[in-house]
Structure 1
């Protein structure tokens, strides 16, 4: 597969604040990639740079082989659905659906109507007067019906109830299977969306902390639990991503693969060893304690 997104040493500053710092990233064609991390990690800024809505302060961004901000033919192949989407005064859903085909060559009007009905987007309410969930639903309709070769969703589920979120996940996966394209999306609902993702990129303070497929990400760490003394004994010489103690008991997320030797050491130390979820890996990587703990001693 050829890369749709190529990012090299990307930085983005706002005055003295650095939102992105030396980001290197490549996303291949036909992949659903999750962009994960804490609030303020730089996810929205990175997506805006990819969509040509922000210019880098340093480094380079190429989409379909060209700088997105300077090439209309590139931008016509990108749909960026962000959580702060703005619309003209008086615009309703019907107005958006009527102008969208002019911006997206692959626009599917039937899919747009069906999704709007399933997600219960009100037809007679101005977009500026919609609730947070209704606006999210309208944005999902636009992003999916665009069928853009590169579709970017910035936390598209905000305000949606559980039923609407599940409908979005199911319809996105079904439409992606029928019409493959590259999808980049940010989310905090990692457990809910994990089944959609093929690859994950974790940002923290503007830097890439993890870039791998989902299975590798889950296998990159493991959890141990037991008495505090037993966990400390096992952790000696190992790098802890996070740890939590309650009374005399302790759990820790450990960086690395739980191989045969690790399991033997765990049994000898009297601790219970288990796998971790993608959510646990991301939370551990975003923990301030990660940088402080280093290698346990």
Structure 2
């Protein structure tokens, strides 16, 4: 049974592909207002778990998202969730206005007027084709779409994979400043923890489909501080 403020509850989640284990007895609780990071190398199981959250893959174990079953209640669930996999990728032949119209057609909580208002403060025109936009503009377009969706849960699976460092930092800083209000919940997968550690409230380190370590950012920082040796205890190198 999920607690009132629990957004994701996963118990003993397992998934195998052709005999190879992608998730193995994975457990996770994500609560309202958290910005949770799933950190680990490629193949750690991060994307598989997020696909399970979105009802894209079947798994064994117990999984509830917003009190719903991702597989049985997928249509209702996706009306309350926003998902982005790679902000560097969009249909290059489409016009910006066509992208907005498409999102309006598939997501009931998308406010196209709000998205257009956000874009009016940028150099992006709705008549422009995606292929004419710089990478920075594509990031801005994605952000305008995210910020115009009144989603309870935002799922980001390696969202900045194809971007340079400056654009990755811009995406995360704008996401927190303009989207996150303390009531929404965000779960992010990445293997580049250094660029989002200042964004996260909590983190789970994964490897081979299992949790290696987890906790709040403050708790983990404190643990590493306690493990750091004192200067006076360090031996000087021999000349």
Deviation, 1:27, is: 0.1
1:133–1:158 Cα contact (<8 Å) kept: no
1:69 to 57, 68, 71: 71
2:130–2:138 Cα contact (<8 Å) kept: no
2:84 to 72, 81, 84: 81
Indicate the residue corresponding to 1:168 in structure 2: 171
Secondary structure class of the residue paired with 1:151: strand
Indicate the residue corresponding to 1:237 in structure 2: none
Structure 1 or 2: more helix by fraction: 1
Q: Distance in 2 between matches of 1:9 and 1:157?
A: 29
Q: Distance in 1 between matches of 2:159 and 2:181?
A: 21
| Structure 2 residue 111 is the aligned partner of structure 1 residue 108 | yes
Deviation, 1:75, is: 1.9
Mark the CA change 1:158 to 1:93 in structure 2 (over 3 Å): closer, same or farther: farther
- After TM superposition, the score normalised by the length of structure 1 is 0.66
Structure number, greater radius of gyration? 1
Q: Distance in 1 between matches of 2:120 and 2:190?
A: 22
Once the two structures are superposed, residues 137-168 of structure 1 have per-residue CA deviations (whole angstroms, 9 ceiling, x without a partner) of 54444333323111111122233344433332
Q: Distance in 2 between matches of 1:164 and 1:86?
A: 14
Once the two structures are superposed, residues 45-99 of structure 1 have per-residue CA deviations (whole angstroms, 9 ceiling, x without a partner) of 111100111111x112110112112112122111111139987795433222113
Over the residues paired in the alignment, what is the CA RMSD in angstroms? 3.3
Mark the CA change 1:175 to 1:137 in structure 2 (over 3 Å): closer, same or farther: closer
Q: Distance in 2 between matches of 1:221 and 1:116?
A: 45
**1:1-297 alignment to 2 at 5 Å?**
2-56=5-59, 58-71=60-73, 72-83=75-86, 91-113=94-116, 114=118, 118=122, 123-125=127-129, 138-178=141-181, 180-222=183-225, 257-258=226-227, 263=230, 267-268=232-233, 270=235
Range with greater deviation from structure 2 (117-126 or 42-51): 117-126
Q: Distance in 1 between matches of 2:232 and 2:195?
A: 33
- After TM superposition, the score normalised by the length of structure 2 is 0.80
Q: What are structure 1's unaligned runs of at least 5 residues?
A: 223-256, 272-297
Secondary structure class of the residue paired with 1:217: helix
Q: Distance in 1 between matches of 2:34 and 2:24?
A: 24
